[in-house]
Amino acid sequence: MGTFCSVIKFENLQELKRLCHWGPVIALGVIAICSTMAMIDSVLWYWPLHTTGGSVNFIMLINWTVMILYNYFNAMFVGPGFVPLGWKPENSQDSMYLQYCKVCQAYKAPRSHHCRKCNRCVMKMDHHCPWINNCCGYQNHASFTLFLLLAPLGCIHAAFIFVMTMYTQLYNRLSFGWNTVKIDMSAARRDPLPVLPFGLAAFAATLFALGLALGTTIAVGMLFFTQMKIILRNKTSIESWIEEKAKDRIQYYQLDEVFVFPYDMGSQWKNFKQVFTWSGVPEGDGLEWPIREGCHPYSLTIEQLKQKADKRVRSVRYKVIEDYSGACCPLNKGIKTFFTSPCTEEPRIRLQKGEFILATRGLRYWLYGDKILDDSFVEGVSRIRGWFPRNCVEKCPCDAETDQAPDGEKKNR
């Protein structure tokens, strides 16, 4: 009893509130529908348990469900890890290289960023994911990525069960005419008869579950490849955008320097081990990080301070070249844009050709920033903030941006 009480604490019960959100409700609903329908179809109509193959298949379905839910709840409830409130570096002189968070009353540790949803500074923050209603970061990056791997694999297995169930049950029920195809749902396929006949309701439920399984496989599978790409480079989505802005800053001012990402260990295997370990606990403490040879321990935070001091690179100016309706997953902007739509609660911006956008961060096919609602940009002017497709805009040329600087002043190169 004492052990039980020590596990269930007030903080743990508070974390259960994360389930009361549209993201976990939809995610768990999809998992429940696909796994339940796969087990029912398999046992009743496709691969009965009294056969060896049916028993193995049923165990595999249960195994997929357990592993998917284990990593999903790990990612949700373990969380990314937060910078302690009031944190400051051991060496007081190092604080000059760090940004200060007024909300957390602490310095932002290297690779950490403040999340407005969690209202805390998150260690090695990648993004805030609505599907787990939590941030993806230092502590749960491995569990989140494993969930992205296991969910499509489990859905592929379930989709196979759905297809084979419909095929075996409908094979002897189809009759073809000159211009018609008829299905006799009263005909039996298996001898002896199953406990429940494969009727119209079972067919509709199986078809619906098949659609969910295929959609999940494509969407979550693409997210998995995106995550693995940045893990093998030991980056986060935010750090990729900081690196892009660093290169833009160097090119704009024609500086004789090269920005080297400090946390890339030079080997994909070494980068992989920074996230995935046999113990399940990521390397380090989330506050200090091993760096590449020849790099300054605070190379990335120094670059962030440079970008913060430079209004031009704090937000990159883009011109809208193609209208965008503000749809979450636009079909007319390309298949890659459709399937890589950001999984976030942040809104989309409706764009019209000729407008200007100030992008502050982005992904490969999407950007995030502010649409200027005034002819000249000054601090405090009204604006709309959100995501928009990258292929709807083009970066303003340096010369044009120099002549029409946001603050109305000529830039010195």
Q: Which residues are catalytic?
A: 129
Could you give the residue ranges of the DSSP H alpha helices within 121-236? 141-170, 200-231
Cβ neighbors of 413 (< 8 A, separation 6 or more) are 252, 253, 254, 402
Tokens of 282: 């990521």
DSSP strands (E only) in 1-107: 100-101, 106-107
What backbone torsions phi and psi does residue 316 show, to the nearest 5 degrees? -85, 135
Cα 248 to Cα 395: distance, rounded to the nearest angstrom:
11
In angstroms, the Cα distances linking 174 to 168, 171, 203 are: 11, 6, 14
Cβ neighbors of 152 (< 8 A, separation 6 or more) are 216, 217, 220, 221, 224
Cβ neighbors of 8 (< 8 A, separation 6 or more) are none
